[in-house]
Amino acid sequence: MPMSRVPRSRRFLVCEPRHFAVQYAINPWMHEDTQVDVDLARGQWADMVRAYRAHGHTVDSVEPVAGLPDMVFAANSALVVAGRVFGSLFHAPQRRPESTAYETWFKNAGFDVYRPEAVCEGEGDLVFAGRYLLAGTGFRTERAAHHEVQEFFGVPTVSLTLVDPRFYHLDTALFVLDDGPEANIAYYPEAFSAGSREVLRLLFPDAVIATHEDAMAFGLNSVSDGRHIFIAPRAEALAGELARHGYVPVPVDLSEFQKAGGGIKCCTQEIRS
């Protein structure tokens, strides 16, 4: 019998996709001629928010800014641990104004915000996993930012190199399943360099391994509260494997956002108190 998992209430920050569009191409999922169904996107996003609240989580929202179509991807704005905010500096110039918009929200909410000197895209490439901070590089966040974030939080930071441009952020190839010093993960090994795969194998010997199909369905761009896992419905094999490990998959369809290379986690910033 799988072990009983215990959820923990979370506080999430999101941004309504009022201005969501594909106006430029900065990853392989994006094509400038793609038409976005904004009504569908807003409906899917609202379903995600309802799912979070139905499972006992707090959801705050930042006001979207016209001309920033990717601002809906709140995870890229920062990493928040113990109430401290490590902000963002985006790789693409089109997204750099998002940092200021999110910084304003955090400051108005009473947080101090550290601005990184190196390119860093928040929880897109920084994943807090128990005693470690997993840090992605290869396409967006620079390795120098890994040193900055380690100095800021004082948490051992493990650099991981992404090698497949379809998985351009760490949160498209890996997510954390639970809290605590023995936190476990799910990931897609082929998204990583050989050395990084070995590091993950050593650190997380009991990790849940995703298939190529699950990864392409954005199944790893999921959010877990320690029991419930908010996951793309097309990642069926991964959902089944997670259920066998005692987790409860909660399907949330954000397929319209995949046109911009985004999913559930991309749209969700966790504020850890």
Q: Which residues pair with 14 in a beta bridge?
A: 61
Residue closest to 120 by CA, chosen among 77, 165, 80? 77
Tell me how far the alpha carbon of residue 52 is from its chain's centroid: 15
Which residues touch 153 (CB under 8 Å, ≥6 apart)?
81, 82, 84, 86, 133
H or E segment to which residue 47 belongs = helix 38-54
Catalytic residue set: 169, 266
Q: Which residues pair with 109 in a beta bridge?
A: none
In a 3-state reduction of DSSP, which class is residue 174?
strand
The amino acid occupying position 98 is: E
- 212 contacts 190 by C-beta, under 8 angstroms: yes
Which residues touch 29 (CB under 8 Å, ≥6 apart)?
166, 258, 259, 260, 261
